[in-house]
């Protein structure tokens, strides 16, 4: 989901905020669907830590509870007991700077001529304003988000059923949207025609489950069946699952950053284990950027498979150099640069014995703004490392993301402004090596034509129409 971004100089109003989110959906009469949604969201907490919610349908109406905070802070036994029914959708939201409002929390519940529905959205639209212009002038908005535009559009389109309206929505909405919708008695899920964000389907006993990532299915004991195809709609009710292919066909554009950073390593994406893909990225990085060193370490958690891959390929021992305090959360949660910097120190403690007197290779998955890396290098040097060689399992990130990943603006992206050698100097590393685009794509086991590599190439499946403001802001 996305909401308006404070930094209006950087992105077009309304089309802006760049967030990852996690969505779940359960259709399982006779089961505790709210509890299943809760545990599913628990497994998707890495996709968003700002707010979360669950909506449950009991056959005749919907009840929704959403709040700011982590899943574990929002729900307790009492709250879950109030959410009884046979169908549920859940949402966990990611946010960076700007307003953190419960109004932006999801699922969003709306009444329409065909009945009530609750919607949970992961992704970012690129034509929000165009869609907003289609809405009735007196449409009452409660939050400033593209997700709410989708909700209002579904409520106002003329199709007789929700399914008809979703089909039409797929021809109208541009950008990234993986969505789960609950009505009082049915579950719907669909992916945008480009398939930018993931969404998968599983079985739970006689019922069905939808989740952003397969790790959520595994967590509740559901069995993974398959990913939804780009543009596919599934309708789940007492008759089972019906798959409806959209009329809208677009070139596939799965976000590569899901492989690099976002998805959990125990998830499977496009038939490939994220762990194994990252391990291979590390191996390929060692082939492309070998270095004479004593040990290899990784920045926990996302870079660990890549670090182990680098060590495996290079034959150097893999050590744990930094221990992460797991309860701090991702540093990006901190809303400003200063707090982000402090967050890094709060986040890691060095294992000095693994680094003292050693030439250390440190593997991370990405450098975005370049705030984290120099602090990591400093920590490693303070621990007594004699050399620090930084290796990154992604190519330089040189463009912002319009499709749901918080990627900063051109001004903030370090690799959009400095050469690799200048970055090396800035982060105080003895050497710096990035994985090539070709090496990255090869590690996924799939062809380049399947991916959105917008942050690496500037070629996006659908970019917002450039106004003079955007051109100025993006310095294109
Ligand atoms: P930066 O300090 O901006 O260079 O951030 C890079 C670090 O943040 C890396 O260690 C990544 O693991 C992590 N990271 C990269 N992209 C994101 C993102 N979109 N949201 C949160 N963390 C990220």
Predicted confidence band at 213 (pLDDT cuts at 50, 70, 90)? very high
Residue 447: its pLDDT value, please? 95
- Residue 161 Cα to ligand 1 midpoint, Å, equals 42
Predicted confidence band at 183 (pLDDT cuts at 50, 70, 90)? very high
Q: Which of 261, 374, 427, 455 to mutate to test the pocket of ligand 1 (most atoms within 8 A of CB)?
A: 261
- Residue 86 Cα to ligand 1 midpoint, Å, equals 38
- Residue 413 Cα to ligand 1 midpoint, Å, equals 11
- Mean pLDDT, residues 201-220: 97
Which residue, by CA, sits nearest to atom 13 of ligand 1? 366
- Lowest-confidence region among 129-133, 190-194, 219-223, 324-328: 324-328
Q: What CA–CA distances, in Å, run from 16 to 128, 232, 259, 379?
A: 9, 25, 23, 35
Q: What is the pTM of this model?
A: 0.90
Residue 403: its pLDDT value, please? 84
Which residue, by CA, sits nearest to atom 11 of ligand 1? 366
- Lowest-confidence region among 47-56, 170-179, 365-374, 464-473: 464-473
Q: Which of 19, 366, 399 to mutate to test the pocket of ligand 1 (most atoms within 8 A of CB)?
A: 366
What are 176's two structure tokens? 């990234």
- Mean pLDDT, residues 233-250: 92
- Lowest-confidence region among 3-12, 26-35, 100-109, 113-122: 3-12
Is CATH 3.40.50.970 what the domain over 3-250 is classified as, yes or no? Answer: no
Percent share of the chain, pLDDT over 70 = 88
Predicted confidence band at 205 (pLDDT cuts at 50, 70, 90)? very high
Predicted confidence band at 181 (pLDDT cuts at 50, 70, 90)? very high
Nearest atom within ligand 1 for CA of residue 94: 20
Q: Which of 97-111, 121-135, 276-290, 450-464 has the highest mean pLDDT?
A: 276-290
Which residue, by CA, sits nearest to atom 5 of ligand 1? 368
Annotated catalytic residue: which of 21, 64, 255, 455? 21
Nearest atom within ligand 1 for CA of residue 299: 10
What are 454's two structure tokens? 């917008």
Residue 7: its pLDDT value, please? 27
- Residue 180 Cα to ligand 1 midpoint, Å, equals 27
Residue 246: its pLDDT value, please? 79
Predicted confidence (pLDDT) at residue 444 exceeds the cutoff of 90:
yes
Predicted confidence (pLDDT) at residue 469 exceeds the cutoff of 60:
no
Which residue, by CA, sits nearest to atom 23 of ligand 1? 332
| DSSP states along 106-155 | S-EEEEETTEEEEEEEES-BS-HHHHHHTS-TTPPPSS-BHHHHHHHHHH
- Residue 132 Cα to ligand 1 midpoint, Å, equals 32
Residue 346: its pLDDT value, please? 66
Nearest atom within ligand 1 for CA of residue 18: 19
Residue 464: its pLDDT value, please? 65
Nearest atom within ligand 1 for CA of residue 407: 19
What b/e sequence results for 147-172 when a residue is b if at least 16 CB atoms lie within 10 Å of its CB, and e otherwise? bbbbbbbbbebeeeebbebbbbbbee
Q: Are 187 and 236 in contact (CB under 8 A)?
A: yes
Q: What CA–CA distances, in Å, run from 351 to 319, 348, 380?
A: 9, 10, 9
Q: Which of 17, 123, 264, 332 to mutate to test the pocket of ligand 1 (most atoms within 8 A of CB)?
A: 332
N residues, the chain: 476
- Mean pLDDT, residues 441-462: 93
Residues in contact with 91: Cβ distance below 8 Å, sequence separation at least 6, in sequence order: 1, 21, 22, 23, 24, 41, 52, 53, 54, 66, 105, 106, 107, 120, 121
- Residue 329 Cα to ligand 1 midpoint, Å, equals 12
- Cα(119)–Cα(89) distance, integer angstroms: 7
The set of protein residues with a Cβ atom below 6 angstroms from ligand 1 is 261, 299, 302, 330, 332, 364-373, 405-406
Give residue limits of the domains in the chain.
3-250, 276-445
Nearest atom within ligand 1 for CA of residue 332: 21
Nearest atom within ligand 1 for CA of residue 344: 2
Q: What CA–CA distances, in Å, run from 159 to 146, 155, 164, 266, 361?
A: 21, 10, 5, 40, 58
CATH topology of domain 276-445: Rossmann fold (3.40.50)
- Residue 434 Cα to ligand 1 midpoint, Å, equals 15
* Average pLDDT over the chain, rounded to an integer: 88
Predicted confidence band at 405 (pLDDT cuts at 50, 70, 90)? confident
- Mean pLDDT, residues 228-244: 97
Residue 334: its pLDDT value, please? 46
Q: Which of 95, 96, 345, 372 to mutate to test the pocket of ligand 1 (most atoms within 8 A of CB)?
A: 372
Coil vs helix vs strand at 89 = strand
Predicted confidence (pLDDT) at residue 473 exceeds the cutoff of 60:
no
Specify whether 21 is catalytic: yes
Residue 402: its pLDDT value, please? 84
- Cα(24)–Cα(35) distance, integer angstroms: 12
Residue 461: its pLDDT value, please? 85
- Mean pLDDT, residues 166-173: 96
Residue 338: its pLDDT value, please? 65
What are 127's two structure tokens? 């034509």
Bridge partners, residue 23, by sequence: 91
């Amino acid at each position: 989901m996305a909401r308006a971004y404070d930094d209006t100089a950087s992105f077009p109003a309304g089309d802006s905020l760049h967030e990852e989110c996690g969505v779940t959906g359960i259709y399982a009469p006779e089961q505790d669907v709210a509890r299943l949604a809760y545990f599913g969201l628990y497994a998707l907490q890495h996709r968003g830590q700002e707010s979360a919610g669950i909506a449950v349908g009991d056959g005749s109406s919907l009840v929704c509870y959403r709040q700011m905070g982590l899943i574990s802070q929002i729900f307790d036994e009492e709250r879950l007991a109030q959410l009884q029914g046979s169908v549920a959708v859940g949402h966990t939201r990611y946010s960076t700077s700007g307003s953190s409002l419960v109004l932006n929390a999801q699922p969003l519940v709306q009444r329409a001529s065909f009945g009530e529905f609750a919607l949970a959205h992961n992704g970012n639209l690129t034509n929000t304003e165009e869609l907003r212009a289609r809405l009735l002038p007196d449409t009452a908005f409660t939050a400033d988000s593209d997700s709410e535009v989708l909700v209002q559009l579904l409520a106002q389109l003329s199709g007789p059923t929700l399914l008809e309206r979703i089909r039409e929505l797929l021809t109208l909405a541009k950008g990234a949207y993986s969505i789960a919708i609950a009505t009082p008695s049915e579950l719907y899920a669909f992916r945008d025609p480009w398939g930018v964000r993931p969404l998968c389907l599983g079985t739970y006993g006689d019922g069905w489950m939808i989740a952003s990532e397969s790790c959520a299915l595994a967590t509740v004991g559901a069995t993974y069946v398959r990913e939804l195809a780009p543009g596919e709609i599934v309708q789940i009710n007492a008759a089972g699952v019906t798959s409806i292919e959209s009329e809208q066909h677009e070139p596939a554009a799965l976000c590569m950053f899901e492989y690099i950073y976002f998805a959990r390593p125990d998830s499977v994406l496009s038939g490939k284990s994220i762990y194994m893909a990252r391990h291979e990225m590390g191996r390929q990085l060692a082939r492309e950027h070998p270095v004479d060193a004593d040990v290899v370490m990784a920045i926990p958690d996302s870079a660990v498979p890549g670090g182990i891959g680098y060590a495996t390929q290079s034959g150097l021992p893999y050590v744990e150099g930094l221990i992460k305090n797991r309860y701090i959360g991702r540093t990006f949660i901190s809303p400003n640069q200063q707090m982000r910097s402090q967050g890094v120190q709060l986040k890691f403690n060095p294992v000095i014995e693994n680094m003292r007197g050693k030439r250390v290779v440190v593997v991370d998955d990405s450098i975005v703004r370049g705030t984290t890396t120099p602090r990591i290098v400093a920590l490693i040097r303070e621990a007594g490392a004699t050399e620090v060689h930084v290796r990154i399992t992604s190519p330089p990130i040189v463009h912002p993301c319009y499709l749901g990943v918080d990627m900063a603006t051109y001004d903030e992206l370090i690799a959009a402004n400095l050469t690799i050698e200048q970055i090396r100097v800035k982060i105080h590393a003895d050497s710096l090596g990035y994985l090539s685009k070709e090496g990255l794509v090869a590690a996924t086991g799939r062809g380049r034509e399947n991916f959105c590599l917008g942050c690496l190439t500037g070629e996006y499946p659908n970019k917002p129409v450039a106004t003079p403001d955007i051109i100025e802001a993006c310095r294109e």
